[in-house]
A and B are shown apart, each in its own frame.
Chain A
Amino acid sequence: MPLIDLSKTSLRDLNASLHKLTADTNETLWTIVNPAGEHSIAAGVDAPITINIDGPVGYYCGGMNKHATIVVEGSAGQGVGENMMSGLIRVRGDASQSAGATGRGGLLIVEGNASARCGISMKGIDIVVKGSIGHLSAFMGQSGRLVVFGEAGEALGDSIYEAHLYVRGAVAGLGADCVEKEMRDEHRAELAELLKAAGEEHKIDVSEFRRYGSARQLYNFNIDNVDAY
C-alpha cells in the first residue's frame, strides 16, 4: 500500500512508478497526499489499481486512465479524466472545465459541480455530475452518457452526434441541433443503470430527468445551408 507524499516525491517520479505497474501487480492501493493542485497527477495509468488522492488536483488528473479507480478528495482542475478509456474517477468536490473531455470509456463521477465544456467531444465515456454543469457541455458529443442532477448552462449539446444527455434541472439553452427527446422505457432503464453505478440507486427518481440528444440535421452537408459557410 504505497503512500506517496507529493511535497517530498516529484510528480514525475510518482507517475513513472504508476506507469510501471502491470495488470497483475500486487500494489493495488495507492494513497497520494499533499497533491496541492499539481497538474497531471495519475495521468496515463494502465493497471487495475485504486488511487486515493487526499486533496485538490490541477489539470488532467487521471487523463487517459485505463482500468484504475481514482478518487480525488477535493476539487479537480481542467480536464479531469480527459480521454479516459476505462475505470472510474470520482471527484468529491467540484470539477473545472472540460471534465471527461474526449473520454472513450469508463465512468467519471463529480460529486459537486462541473463547469464549462463538461464532456466536450465525449466518445463513449459515462459522466455523472451530482451538481450542475456549465456552458457548452457535451459539445460535439459522439457517444456515451452524461447525467446531470442539477442544471445545465448555455448551449448544451451543441453540434451533438449520438451522446445521450439526461438533465434533471433547468437547461439554460440548447446548442445547434440539440433537442429534447422523449423518455422511453429503454432510457429510464439506461438512466437507472447509471444511477446505480454512481451509487445513487433508489435515491433519485429517474422520471425527474429529461432527455436531450441530436436532431441529426447537421450530419451531412445540406445544399440549403450553403449560405451559412
Chain B
Amino acid sequence: MCGIAGLFIKDRSLEPKLGELLTKMTATLCSRGPDSAGFAIYGSGKAAGKTKLVLAGPSKAYSLEPVMRELGLHLGPGADIHLLHTHAIVSLKAEDAGRVRSWVEAHAPEITIVSEGERLEIFKEVGYPTDVARDFGISGMSGTHGISHTRMATESAVTTNGSHPFSTGTDQCLVHNGSLSNHASLRRELRREGIPIRTENDTEVAAAYLTKQMRDGQSLGEALQSSLADLDGFFTFVVGTENGFGVLRDPIACKPAVMAETDQFVAFASEFKSLMCLPGIKNAKVWEPKPATVYFWEHQ
C-alpha cells in the first residue's frame, strides 16, 4: 500500500492554492497509509543567498523548543528559527548551514535535519494523514510544486524518521510506494561513498542513490534511468528538485499510478479519486505512466 500525491503547478495563479489542493488530494489516500504522512513543499520565491533547514525531533513527545533556543543563541541574530508543530524551520545565510549541521551533531544528535534547501521544506510525522496535514497547517502553504505521502510501513519502524518524503540532497526529495530488496547492500556502498543515510528504511536508500548519481554529474532524468538497473524491487517514485518533478515506475509497474495534466498543472496520484478535487479535472488529459519510463517536468 502507501499513497502518493504530487502537484506541479504550471499556471502561477494557482500557486497560493498548492497546500490546499495537496491537502485535499492526500486526504483521499488515508486508507492506503494510515500510520504516518509527510509533505514536501517547494515554496514560491526564494531569498537570495538564504537557505532553509527543517529540523525534527525523534518523536512527537520530544520538546524541540529549548533545544532551538540554544541553537538560536549559537547562531546569533542572522538566523531565524520558527517552530511549527513538531518541526523547526531555520532560515539563515547559505554559508551558515554547516554551522547548524555541526551544532546539531555535537549538541542534539537525536534531531534530524529532514530537509535543506533554498526552496524545499519537508514536514512529516507519525499519525493519521489528515491530522498530520492539519497540525502543520499544510493547507495554508503556497508554492510551485509539492509531494505528499501516506505511509503503511513495511520495511522499517513507524517513526518520524521512517516517514516519507526523504531528502538526502539540497532541495531534493523522494517518496516511494513499494519496497526494495537490495537496500542493505546499496546502503553500505553509498555510505562508503560518503552519502549520509540515517535510517534502515529502503526508501532513504533510493533517495541517497539518486543524490549520489546527481553528485557524480547525472541529471535527475539520467539518475532515474540508472536506478532501473541498480535498484531491485518494486517501486513507484515521485521525486522533487528545486525546479522539477519526476515520476518513475519499475519495469513491471506493480504499484498504482495515475497522472493528469492541464494548462494549469501536472498531477500525480496513487488513485484517480485523489485527482477529482483539482480544477478542470474533467477536461484534463489523464493517463497511467508506463513502466520503466522516466517522466519529468521542470519550471524554466
Binding site for B on A (CB under 8 A): 36-38, 56, 58, 75, 77-78, 94, 96-97, 113, 115-116, 134-136, 153
Q: Which residue of A lies closest to B256 (CB)?
A: A78
Among B253, B271, B272, B287, the residue within 8 A (CB) of A116 is: B253
Cβ B273 vs Cβ A58 within 8 A: yes
Cβ A116 vs Cβ B291 within 8 A: yes
**Contacts A36-B276, A56-B276; A115 near B288 (Cβ below 8 A):** yes
Residues of B close to A134: CB separation below 8 A: 253, 288, 290
Cβ A37 vs Cβ B256 within 8 A: no
B79 at the interface (CB under 8 A from A): no
Residues of B close to A96: CB separation below 8 A: 256, 258, 272, 288
Q: Which residue of A lies closest to B274 (CB)?
A: A37
Residues of B close to A115: CB separation below 8 A: 288
Residues of B close to A136: CB separation below 8 A: 252
B286 at the interface (CB under 8 A from A): yes
**Contacts A96-B258, A135-B253, A135-B291; A38 near B272 (Cβ below 8 A):** no
Shortest distance between the CB of A92 and any CB in chain B (Å):
13
Docked pose: A220 CA to B1 CA in angstroms: 36
Residues of B close to A78: CB separation below 8 A: 256
Q: How many residues of B contact A (CB 8 A)?
A: 14
Residues of B close to A58: CB separation below 8 A: 271-273
Which B residues from 257 to 294 make CB contacts under 8 A with A? 258, 271-273, 276, 286-288, 290-291
Looking at chain A's contact residues, the main secondary structure is: loop
Which B residues from 17 to 70 make CB contacts under 8 A with A? 28
Q: Which residue of A lies closest to B31 (CB)?
A: A39
Residues of B close to A37: CB separation below 8 A: 28, 271-273, 276
Docked pose: A100 CA to B243 CA in angstroms: 40
Looking at chain B's contact residues, the main secondary structure is: loop
Docked pose: A42 CA to B226 CA in angstroms: 43
Residues of A close to B276: CB separation below 8 A: 36-37, 56
Additional 4 contacts, C-beta under 8 A, given A75-B286, A96-B258: A37-B276, A77-B256, A78-B256, A96-B272
Shortest distance between the CB of A134 and any CB in chain B (Å):
7
Residues of A close to B258: CB separation below 8 A: 96
Mark B240-262 against chain A: 1 for CB-CB distance below 8 A, else 0: 00000000000011001010000
Please name 24 pairs of A and B residues whose Cβ atoms are closer than 8 Å in the assembled complex, sorted by A: A36-B273, A37-B28, A37-B272, A37-B273, A56-B272, A56-B273, A56-B276, A58-B271, A58-B273, A75-B272, A77-B256, A77-B272, A77-B273, A94-B286, A94-B287, A96-B258, A97-B253, A113-B287, A115-B288, A134-B253, A134-B290, A135-B253, A135-B290, A153-B290
Q: Which residue of B lies closest to A136 (CB)?
A: B252
Docked pose: A37 CA to B271 CA in angstroms: 8
Docked pose: A136 CA to B258 CA in angstroms: 18
Most buried by B among A38, A56, A136: A56
10 tightest A-B CB contacts, nearest first: A37-B273, A115-B288, A37-B272, A116-B253, A56-B272, A75-B272, A36-B273, A58-B273, A135-B291, A77-B272
Docked pose: A129 CA to B252 CA in angstroms: 21
Shortest distance between the CB of A151 and any CB in chain B (Å):
12
Docked pose: A136 CA to B271 CA in angstroms: 21
Cβ A97 vs Cβ B273 within 8 A: no
Residues of B close to A56: CB separation below 8 A: 272-273, 276
Most buried by A among B258, B272, B273: B272
Most buried by B among A37, A75, A136: A37
Docked pose: A78 CA to B253 CA in angstroms: 13
Residues of A close to B290: CB separation below 8 A: 134-135, 153
Residues of B close to A97: CB separation below 8 A: 253, 256, 288
Docked pose: A64 CA to B232 CA in angstroms: 35
Cβ B288 vs Cβ A77 within 8 A: no
Docked pose: A36 CA to B273 CA in angstroms: 6
Residues of A close to B256: CB separation below 8 A: 77-78, 96-97
Docked pose: A94 CA to B287 CA in angstroms: 9
Q: Which residue of B lies closest to A97 (CB)?
A: B256
Shortest distance between the CB of B247 and any CB in chain A (Å):
15
Cβ B253 vs Cβ A77 within 8 A: no
Docked pose: A38 CA to B252 CA in angstroms: 25
Shortest distance between the CB of A35 and any CB in chain B (Å):
9
